Amino acid sequence: MEPQTVRDRMVDRIQHMLKHAVIKDPRFLDDEQLIRAEQLALIEEIFNASVRDTEIEELSSHFAGILRGDHPCHLAVWGKTGTGKTLTLTYFLNLLTELAKSRQVDVRHVHLDLSTPQPCFRALNNLACLVGASKSHKKGISLEELMVNTEEALADQSGYLIIFVDEVDNVRRDRDTFLKFLVRRLPQKIRARLILVFVSNRLNWPDQLDPRVKSFLKLNELLFKPYDARDLEHILNIRIEKALYPDTVELAAIKKIGGLAGHDHGDARKAVALLVKSAYLAEKAGTKITLALVDQAVDELHCDRYVALLRTAPVQLKAALAGVIEASDRAKGRAVATGGAFDAYRRFCDRVGQRPLSGRAFGDLLAELDVHAFIRSSVVSHGRRGRTREITLDIPREIVAQLSDVIRMDFNLRR
């Protein structure tokens, strides 16, 4: 019998949702929400499934000397994003410290997290905070002073000190100063034996180093291979078991997620994100996670990425994109030249009462839009009619429409 009243329909819907719930514990879909112990347990479970075995083995042999009183050299770890570098290292170093303690070897490690790009100053500052050398300054203190503070705080410690520098290449500007300090200066000022662990996702990272630092830096190298589809399936299964109700995922869907993520980067984070999105879609649809839903999740993630990126982007970048969109509309699909886009941008600024930037700066904004894949641009010469970027909007229409909405909201525009 058809439900008649609002109340009936509501009860019906709720019962349906309960019966077809997919997500059991959403916390396990988002690492941020887990407490530290849970995170470590999760990692352990993943490693137990013999994922990352070779890497852990290599790490062990690299650091084994510590327990014998040797001094291992520094270590450089490479691998693409989402291959578990940070996780593995954290886990490993914790274990190592514990093990060393049980054998009366004094080992300390600090994790200097540079996962967001930051200048030399903040990096040094963070390091100083980690070793308890100073409180968190924002500005206004000289680099020298930070270094001295750090040295003093560490001066009379003995044993081993492992500094785990996560995502080194995120130190913008004066990277050499930063590294010179770590590699050359610090070891001479402290009693403890220093072992540096650098993590980076770019293989050619040491190439662009100051030669004086480079020659000083004796490195052992370790490469994290991207996860393959099998690893990813392991990881997904562990998540699924913890976060979802049993029997809510089609087997083929797991394979598909693993395959997709493995295929394009071997990035575990992406795989989990895809699982999460699929799970929410399934919950909404009141079904299991099916292949079709995975496809839909891929599309939505794609779209979300753009929208999220734009939401948090600086105003000028939004305005620039608005200009490109407008110019692009006007050009009816043909490519737009820099000048045209700039004019449109200036008109837009005029309309919303914002001061437009110079042409030079606009060029940089375009470059930025390009790296975020909002637009595609290439420099083309039209002979005597000059050289320009030819700009095309490289995004599906629906997404462009959504982006326009974001921009309109931001600038309080109607229509």
Partner DNA sequence: TGTCCACAGGAAATACGGGGGT
Partner DNA sequence: ACCCCCGTATTTCCTGTGGACA
Binding site for DNA (CB under 7 A): 118-122, 137-143, 172-174, 314, 316, 337-340, 357-361, 363, 366-367, 379, 381-389
The nearer residue to DNA, 189 or 346, going by C-beta atoms, is 346
Distance CA 200, CA 242 (A): 31
Distance CA 202, CA 79 (A): 7
The nearer residue to DNA, 118 or 201, going by C-beta atoms, is 118
The nearer residue to DNA, 137 or 305, going by C-beta atoms, is 137
Q: How far is the CB of 384 from DNA (least distance, A)?
A: 4
Instruction: Fill in the amino acid letter for 109.
Output: H
Q: How far is the CB of 361 from DNA (least distance, A)?
A: 3
Q: How far is the CB of 120 from DNA (least distance, A)?
A: 5
Q: How far is the CB of 334 from DNA (least distance, A)?
A: 14
Q: How far is the CB of 176 from DNA (least distance, A)?
A: 13
For the beta carbon of residue 180, count every other beta carbon within 10 angstroms: 17
Identify the helix (H) or strand (E) that includes residue 223: strand 219-223
Q: How far is the CB of 312 from DNA (least distance, A)?
A: 12
Grouping H, G, I as helix, E, B as strand and the rest as coil, residue 120 is helix
Identify the helix (H) or strand (E) that includes residue 188: helix 186-189
The nearer residue to DNA, 314 or 396, going by C-beta atoms, is 314
Per-residue three-class SS string for 332-369: CCCCEEHHHHHHHHHHHHHHHCCCCCCHHHHHHHHHHH
The nearer residue to DNA, 286 or 339, going by C-beta atoms, is 339
353 dihedral zone (left: phi>0; alpha: psi -120 to 50; beta): left
The nearer residue to DNA, 384 or 414, going by C-beta atoms, is 384
- What are the distances in angstroms from CA 236 to CA 80, 299, 309? 19, 20, 26
